[in-house]
Amino acid sequence: MTKEHRDSTAQFEEALKASEGQKYVLKLYVAGTTPKSSQAIRNIKKICDEHLKGRYELEVIDIYQQPTLTKGEQIIAAPTLIKKLPLPLRRFIGNLADAERILVGLDLKPRDADDGG
């Protein structure tokens, strides 16, 4: 393990400890009851239940029923997940099937040093 890798791992672990008490505020924008929307809801609920038990607030918004909410968030595709808190704000587009990518994006898992970023 290189010194740089140890340092980034240590920084991540410190950030993770600091965020343990933080509540995650997530908004999932879906397009009706399409299979992709339903899958995205199941996927994010599973991730939250396994990794954020009791520490998250998930709001599911149907862009067909509440189209005005999409303009403020600049939603251009659905499903779209937005992590509002803790900062930084992050966006994920698609059915959220790649749990590893979502965990890294939510800062719940360190990014591999080998993956180029």
Confidence of residue 111 (pLDDT cuts 50, 70, 90): confident
User: Residue 35, preceding bond cis, omega within 30 degrees?
Assistant: no
Q: For residue 45, what is the enclosing H or E element? A: helix 35-51
Per-residue pLDDT tens digits for 45-95: 999 999 999 999 999 999 999 988 888 888 989 999 999 999 999 999 999
Query: Which of 55, 61, 56, 7 lies closest to 32, judged by CA?
Result: 61
Looking at 3.30.200.210, 1.25.40.10, 3.80.30.20, 3.40.30.10, the CATH number of the domain 3-115 comes to: 3.40.30.10
% of the chain beyond a pLDDT of 70: 78
Task: Specify whether the CB–CB gap between 94 and 79 falls below 8 A.
Answer: yes
